[in-house]
Amino acid sequence: MSSQHRNFIDGDWVESNSGETFENRNPADTKEVIGEYQQSTAEDAEAAIEAANEAADEWAAMPGPERGRILRKAGEILADRKEELTQTLSHEVGKTTSEAGGEVQRSIDIYAYYAAKASDFGGTVKESSSPTTHLYSQSEPVGVAGLITPWNFPIAIASWKMAPALAAGNTVVLKPASLAPGIIRELVEALEDAGIPDGVVNFVTGPGRSVGATVSSSPDVDAVSFTGSHSVGEKVRKQAVDDGKRVQLEMGGKNPTVVMPSADVDEAVDIVAGGCFGVTGEACTATSKAIVHEDVYEEFVEKMVDHVESIEVGPGLEDYDMGPHISESELDSTLDYVEIGQQEGATLETGGNRVTGDGYDDGYFVEPAVFSDVTNDMRIAQEEIFGPVLAIIPVSGFEDALRQANDVRYGLAAGLVTQDLTEAHEFANRAEAGIVKVNEKTTGLELHVPFGGFKDSSSETYREQGDAGLDFYSISRTVYMNY
């Protein structure tokens, strides 16, 4: 039997004033309801925003090391519960337990990292032109941060927004994606158990168009950080900017990896496949197209097909290589793109069918797919698929490969596999992407360096993670103290 869960507002677990809930089902077996969550309204979101405002001054006034102590404790609680959280995450979104465990560990590490940053938060002292002026800048929290998050890395993304926001002394209202509220509820519980004061963290589940839109447009929210699709991100940008608030958007991707003839083809296949098919292709930084030099193209296609045909698809909680899609609409979208690719004239080398049969019929399982003979103008080479589909494009040289890698509206991650140092540096300098990986898969990020995209992948305002992650949640005041 599934349990019913509540919102967290002003330190209490409360029901929505709608009196309604929505169900969350296991994507590997949709007969199973794994939780019921509040179908909240704009009024619930407003109550959370009010609580965050009331708690703001006291939290901002708490010394940084003390805020850091609470964040560190939250990280320790997550670590103590890692096994259980890993199961919850795998159950809820379908990723394998090894992928889910990696994501939970990322959250633990993020809390430890920003716990330390809470003590460093402060400012700088500079020499003044006047001998009697003490010249310094000091950082302050922005106020109330509205955080709107997607389902694909639910606990990691909520953590890499919430931990720096709290470290810098902001209070938060968090609106999770309705496909993955359960793991975020556990995160909020860890913060509660760590002693976060009432009203500092608020969690409201429900529809984006009411709860999310209230968070992004409320005059009582000072900053909005959003991660999700480009189409929703643009709405959030408009709602937030119209109200004059600070906004940060991280959105979709269509990430290329270029493979040059100096590459070891087996290694290139591992790098591209790891970036494309991990987490069922549901990563914003997933490799979605391989742009492969004609000298190694045939060998690459052949070895990629062998590799992909060895991927075992099944429930993430069991010992399979690739779990199901999160939802029917994501599954349908992948199947549609497989159809579109064939209509466009690309060659479907392998995969692309829904996986059916005993143990599969009630889940959103799909075979990983590989297309060859793709041209860069095809929709499968231009649009975000967000599923395990690889488009392979043949090219005749480095400049052509770089041009095709950049010829796309998105600019999140771009990869290159080569042994040529000149190509590596040229690519690092000229790829139009916020993350460049040479001889590494496009997915997988380190938490202490900036993360964010170019072009339609990002608002390009502020970066997330690392020291840069604190910038969005803080504002600096410069003091000229002439004594």
Residues that bind ligand NAD (CB under 6 A): 148-153, 157, 175, 177-178, 208-209, 212-213, 216, 227-229, 232, 235-236, 250-253, 284, 384, 386, 412, 453, 457
Min separation Cβ 371 and ligand NAD, Å: 20
Pairing of β 123-126 and β 29-38: unpaired
Smallest gap from residue 152 Cβ to ligand NAD (A): 5
Sign of torsion, CA 273 278 282 284?
Answer: negative
Query: Nearest approach, Cβ of 295 to ligand NAD (angstroms)?
Result: 32
Task: Considering the complex, state which of residue 166 and residue 412 has its C-beta at the smaller distance from ligand NAD.
Answer: 412
259, 284, 395, 431: which is the annotated catalytic residue? 284
Output the smallest distance, CB 420 to ligand NAD, in A: 29
Q: Name which of 109 and 373 has its Cβ closer to ligand NAD.
A: 109
Judged by beta carbon, residue 206 or residue 394, the one nearer ligand NAD is: 206
Residue type for position 222: D
Angle formed by the axes of helices 82-93 and 182-193, to 10°?
Answer: 160
Residue 458 CA: distances (Å) to CA of 127, 141, 442: 36, 23, 17
Contacts 24+ apart (CB under 8 A), 10-15: 10/47, 10/48, 10/51, 10/54, 10/55, 10/198, 10/199, 10/202, 11/51, 11/192, 11/197, 11/198, 11/199, 12/198
> How far apart, in whole angstroms, are the C-alpha atoms of residue 160 and residue 164?
7
Nearer of residues 133 and 382 to ligand NAD, judged by Cβ: 382
Residue 35: which residues within 8 A CB-CB, separation 6 or more? 2, 3, 4, 5, 23, 24, 92, 181, 182
Nearer to ligand NAD, 88 or 255 (CB): 255
Cα first-last separation, the chain: 69
Give the H/E segment covering residue 249.
strand 246-250
Name which of 153 and 365 has its Cβ closer to ligand NAD. 153
Least gap, CB of 1 to ligand NAD (angstroms): 26
CA gap 143, 475 in Å, rounded: 10
Active site residue 276: no
CB of 140 to ligand NAD, least distance (A): 26
Active centre residues (catalytic): 284
